[in-house]
Structures are given as structure tokens and as C-alpha cells.
Amino acid sequence: MTGLENWIEKIMPNVVENWSGDTGFIQSTKDTIYMTFWTSVIAGVIGLALGVLLVLTDDHGLWESRPAYFILDKLVNIFRAIPFIILLAVLDPVTRALVGIGIGPTAALVPLVAGTAPFFARQVQNALLTIDPGVVEAAEAMGLSPLAMVWRVYLREGLSELVRVGVLTIISVIGLTAMAGAIGSGGLGNLAIQIGYNGFKNDVIWVATILILIMVFIVQFVGDIIAKKLHH
């Protein structure tokens, strides 16, 4: 053993002890990344679709429809109003029906998506509302079809803003995965609470926190670069 390893072992004995294994740091980091990635992808697609529909059905939208907007708007609000920790419990039967099991990272995806998609939808809606209505009108005057309008105007003109709210959402997903530990999802949050907090192992809490922070920083950093590149 080198001096450095000795030193690490000395100041963070519990981290070293919990490094590998089923609930160790390596597996937990993988679980957190797994949950964050798939939640972002699935909730991203659903949220994007919902957000676009909210804008299109709103007053002066391309598919202006009071009833459709009302239903979508309320649906998004209700899901956003339920605290995530309660959503985990409420959706348990749904999770079991969909995934076949109530615990673990894959099972956690169900409440994670349900909690994230409405949040992202609202963010998408706000991002798209920053697009100059004049640009939309100009495209309409050129005779664009509604689908082309969504694809070539809304999503293209709003892209930089969409990336920005996307980053915000991914970071909030990382936060939610930690809470999903409450239903035994695994992941760094789970590790910090189950082993660190409950076992009075402060070094585990600290290292788990640092790893989560590193993930957040990487997402923010990459997102900022992309958003900046897209903004003209």
C-alpha cells in the first residue's frame, strides 16, 4: 500500500470499506447515472411533447383550444403539486404493474418520470413562450404546415433556451434520484442515507455529496457550452 492509500484509509475508513459491492460507491454512482439518464430521456420526450402542446393549444396558439389547454394545464399542475416523496408511494401500484417490481433503480424510473415530465413540460412551455410571436406569424404567412412550424420554428428558435431548461431539469432529476432512495432505488442518495446517515458514517455522506456535486457541475458545464454555441 502506498502512503496515499494509507492516508485515505485513515481519514475515510468507511468510504474505503463501502467502495465496491452491491451497495458500494461504484455501484451507487452507476445507479444514479442510470436513473438520471433514463429519466431525462423518457421525461424529456414526454415533457417536450406536453410543453409544445401547451403552447399550441394556448390562446393565439396554432391549435388554440380552451378545453385541451385546460386539461393539459391542470394535469401538469396536479403532478407538480404532489411532493415527490409522496408520489413515490402513490405510484407504487403503477410501478409494480409496469415494471413488475417495486424497488430498485428501474422501478424508481416510474415515479421519477412522473415527477419530472410535468416539471420539464412547464419549463419547455416557458422556453417556447420566449420566441417572438412575430417570427411565428412570419412563418405562418409563408404557408408553413403546423408540423413544420413546430419543428422548424418553435424547436429550432427555442433550442438554446430548451438546452438551458434541459440542464436545469437534469440537475433536478439528480436531486430526485437521491430521494428515490426512500423506496430502495439504490444510488448515491440511498448510500448517503442508509449507510452514511443511519450508520453514523459521516465520511460516506461527504464523499457521496461530493460525487453528486461533481455530476451536477459536469451537466451544468457541458450544458452552458452547448447553449452558448446555439445562441446567436
Partner 1 sequence: MASETVIELQQIDVQFSEKGQEVHAVDHVDLTVSRGDIYGIVGYSGAGKSTLVRTINLLQRPTGGKSLVLGQDMLSLNAKQLRQERQRIGMIFQHFNLMNSRTIAENVAFPLKGHKSKAEIKAKVDSLLKLVGLDERADAYPAELSGGQKQRVGIARALASDPEILISDEATSALDPKTTSSILDLLKHLNETLGLTIVLITHEMEAVKQICNKVAVMDAGRIIERGDLLQIFAQPKEQLTKDFIDTTIQLDAALEAVRQEPAVQNLAPSDRLLRLTYVGASTDQPLVATLFKDYQVTANILFGDIQILQGTPFGNLIVVLSGTSADLARAFTYLHDNDVTVVALDGKEETPA
The answer to the question of residue 60 lying near partner 1 (CB under 8 A) is no
Minimum CB–partner distance for residue 105 and partner 1 (Å):
37
The answer to whether 33 and 26 are in contact (CB under 8 A) is no
The answer to the question of residue 148 lying near partner 1 (CB under 8 A) is yes
Q: Which is nearer to partner 1, 81 or 141 (CB)?
A: 141
How many residues belong to the chain? 232
Q: Which residues contact 59 (CB under 8 A, 6 or more apart)?
A: 69
Minimum CB–partner distance for residue 64 and partner 1 (Å):
12
The answer to whether 213 and 142 are in contact (CB under 8 A) is no
| CA distance linking residue 115 with residue 231, whole number of Å | 29
The answer to the question of residue 137 lying near partner 1 (CB under 8 A) is yes
Q: Which of 108, 117, 127, 153 binds partner 1 (CB under 8 A)?
A: 153
| CA distance linking residue 116 with residue 179, whole number of Å | 13
| CA distance linking residue 180 with residue 76, whole number of Å | 21
The piece of 8-16, 114-122, 151-159, 196-204 that touches partner 1 (CB under 8 A) is 151-159
- The x, y and z cell numbers of residue 226, run together, are 452547448
Residues 74-133 that bind partner 1 (CB under 8 A): 132
Q: Which of 41, 45, 90, 138 binds partner 1 (CB under 8 A)?
A: 138
Residues that bind partner 1 (CB under 8 A): 132, 134-135, 137-145, 148, 152-153, 156-157, 159-160, 230, 232
